[in-house]
Structure formats: structure tokens, C-alpha cells
Amino acid sequence: MNITLLNLRKLSKQDKYREKYLRWHKTYEKRATTELLKVFKGWTKGMMITGQPNQWVHQLDDQFDEEDLIKAYVKIYTEIGLKHGQRIGRAANMQKKDFNPDFFKEFYERYVALYLQQSGMARIYDVRNTFISFIAEMLTSRQVNSMFGDAPDASRVATWIQNQARKRNFFRWQALRIARTESTAASNLGGLNAIKDSGYVMDKIWVSAQDSRTRKNPDDWFDHYHMNGKSVRADSKFEMSSMKGHVDHLEYPGDPKGHPSNIINCRCTLIYKPRKVDGRLVRQ
């Protein structure tokens, strides 16, 4: 049986799939980071401030167009979701050999825009606000005061920020954190949608990274380390309780409906196992 549709008793196969997913995830994360930095650098390149320093921060909100970020999110979720969904779909449909990647692509591309509109806009707004706060901190930093004096010229300060934005590390660690979070969500969303076309009744099984970075009680709000191997029906949700009493119901790792402490920087994934009765696969 393909490692995606594993027998849970064969833990070595689960471990191999985890390792493979983490390698895939690095490529997904890199692709997402590229798209996000393109938006952030583009916003900064076109940034203009005028008047006195106490007016500058208020001018940022009108200049950073959220449509640019929405388009980037659609691209990230479409490309990563399709890539991972096709990987999962081909494996899940090996038994009947009729997974149609073209049909899945057509369906998923239509689905992503609607999904982000319904479930992802809060994340997009948060990312935009995080970037605005980052630039605001630059505008009000001691470095600006020391370089330009108590009455800095707006155009000179804007040019300085634009020059900073050309550097490789500009907003990079923040972009990587966002990209890691969204790569997890996009890949698992794509995989879950691909499995719906399998023709079988499926269970989904949580697979966590199982390393020192994995969320684990008592140090973290939520425990992903011990979620490893938890199984529910593919059309059900995982129930996760935090150390502080908050309860999340997630369709997949990275689900935007989850608490930030449960999804930011998550690298968990799902594997799928067809249900059997008397040794026979259960059709939908």
C-alpha cells in the first residue's frame, strides 16, 4: 500500500511520510515566501509620506492595497494546494486508478477564491496590519531620529526605508513565519479536497513533526506532539483543547478557524486511510 494510505501499525511508513512531507513543506514555504516578499517590497517601493512625523503612520493604511495581498494568497493557496492535492489524490486513488488531476485542478482553482473570501480574509487583514506596524516602527525608531534629527524630511525618510526594503533580510523572518503557516494550511486544504474524490470512506490521521519545535505541553498552549496519530473521519474535525481552556475544532492542521497559538508556524500534516469492513474498502 502507498505510504499515504498507510496501516497505522507500520510506524516506519508513517515516519517516512512525515520526512517526505517536511521536505515538500520546505519547497512550499519557499514558494510562499517569494510571493509574500514580492508584495511587501512592492508596497514599500511605492510608499510616500508627507508632512510631519506625527502624520506619517496614518498615511500608511491608504497606500498598502490589500488586493495585492489577496492575489498573492490566491496564488499561494492555488499552487501549493494543487501540488499537494495531486500528490495525495494520486496516492488515494491508486486502487481504482481514476484520479483526474485536470478535473481536480479545475475544481480547486474555483474553490480557493471562495474559500479565502469566507475563511481566510481575517488572516490576510492580520498580515497586512502586521506589515503596517512593522513600517510604523521603522518610521518612529530611534535610528530615524539619530539619522535625520528632530525634524526629519519625509522624502528622505521614505527613501531610506525603500533602500532598507531592497536588502535581503528586510521583513524576512516575519515573512517566513507567515509563509510557514500558510504553506501548512494550503497543502492540507489541497490534500483534503483531493481525498473527497477518492470514492471511498476515508479517515484522516494527524501527523506532527515530532521534533524540538513541535508544540508540546506544558510549554505551549496546544499540544501537537501528542496529536500525532489521532484519527477522525475525513469529513469530521479534530477537537483540540489548550492548557488555558480554549477548544479548537480543526478540519486540518493550519485551519484558519484555529486559535493563533494553535496554527502559527505549524508544520503538521494529514495522511488518509480508507475504511474497511470485512477486509473490503467501503465505498462512498
Concatenated DSSP letters for 219-240? TSSS-SGGGTT-EEETTS-EEE
Check whether 122 has a pLDDT greater than 60. yes
Separation of alpha carbons 183 and 30, rounded Å: 9
Check whether 11 has a pLDDT greater than 80. no
Check whether 267 has a pLDDT greater than 90. yes
Mean pLDDT along residues 78-103: 77
Task: Report pLDDT for 93.
Answer: 61
Task: Report pLDDT for 6.
Answer: 47
* C-beta pairs of 66-71 under 8 Å, 24+ apart in sequence: 66/124, 66/125, 66/128, 68/39, 68/42, 68/43, 69/39, 69/124, 69/127, 69/128, 70/116, 70/124
- Give the pLDDT confidence of 161-200 residue by residue, as tens digits: 999 999 999 999 999 999 999 999 999 999 999 887 667 7
The predicted model scores a pTM of: 0.87
Q: At what angle do helices 53-60 and 121-139 cross, to 10 degrees?
A: 160
- Give the pLDDT confidence of 130-151 residue by residue, as tens digits: 999 999 999 988 888 778 777 7
- Give the pLDDT confidence of 146-163 residue by residue, as tens digits: 787 777 788 999 999 999
What are the cell numbers at 35? 510571493
Check whether 36 has a pLDDT greater than 80. yes
- Selection from 88-92, 96-100, 233-237, 241-245 with the highest mean pLDDT: 233-237
Check whether 108 has a pLDDT greater than 50. yes
Mean pLDDT along residues 13-33: 92
Q: What percent of the chain has pLDDT over 90?
A: 60
Task: Report pLDDT for 52.
Answer: 87
Q: Residue 198: helix, strand or coil by DSSP?
A: coil
Separation of alpha carbons 52 and 232, rounded Å: 57
Task: Report pLDDT for 1.
Answer: 40
Task: Report pLDDT for 12.
Answer: 58
Alpha helices in 93-209 (DSSP H): 101-115, 121-139, 142-148, 154-165, 172-195
What are the cell numbers at 178? 507567515
- Give the pLDDT confidence of 214-264 residue by residue, as tens digits: 999 888 889 999 999 999 999 999 999 988 889 999 999 999 999 999 999
Average of per-residue pLDDT values in the chain:
88
Confidence of residue 2 (pLDDT cuts 50, 70, 90): very low
Burial of 132 (0-12, 13-18, 19+ CB in 10 A): middle
